[in-house]
Structure 1
């Protein structure tokens, strides 16, 4: 009898132990994954809640870029920094704009980001008075109209002139083409 009882005990012990550790293991992993998922979910929600505030701020931001008298009929590239506060992350990314005057003397500024795959375009590199993207040879007119490769015209910056300075605002879809 005692022999049989002893056998039963040893048979039960490992099962019990592994059962516990397995349950612990599961609750650890599920708990960890749950916490991880909760954190992942709350980030976009926080962002979603903060976004409208960020957008309002960004909308009112005008950056003083260049003196009005420096602008010619030929597009020139001007670099400027914008001060961004994105949640807790503050940065001053450098942007650039191609600013020129049109035949009526109106100033306008185009984004250098090619609408094909986001490379940076240059002006007149092929001596044809067009913007050319070095990556896939997209071409644009001086107004930013897409001629080849790219699906859309270049984006435009909001632009205003104040006391002899050109100010650039947020990027908008091209209004010129």
Structure 2
């Protein structure tokens, strides 16, 4: 029996890019915050490793484009061992919450919202969620996404609550 089946791998891939979208609409976001978000507009490519029961290469593409109301929309695709993951979302500064937020939807039924903070000249998004795999096993999902001037770095981990088994991914992106 494979501990990490195709859906689990899709959930893991979904976490790789979970920081790239926000559901809330910003109201009067500060110009500097909007400019920071827009500085990531462009085409990004990433290649990294997913480790768990096996080690596999992950290859991703990510396109960020200007959206409505000072948002940045994104769409992405990752491949892993013949499995494809498609994701979509929007980055935004939510003035009412006074923070950056990112959420996403995927073809792996995974959705999530990450909170972002300025760190130096970039942004760092963190996500902590619980979900279930295709067999109903509960898992903890965490992601850390760092956006700097010339790179996006994603680290991601899925831990099965009952067994402690895990899989981790690291994918650096560049333009």
After TM superposition, the score normalised by the length of structure 1 is 0.30
- CA radius of gyration, larger in: 1
* Greater strand share, structure number: 2
Which structure's relative contact order is higher, taking Cα pairs within 8 Å and 6+ residues apart?
2
* Greater helix share, structure number: 1
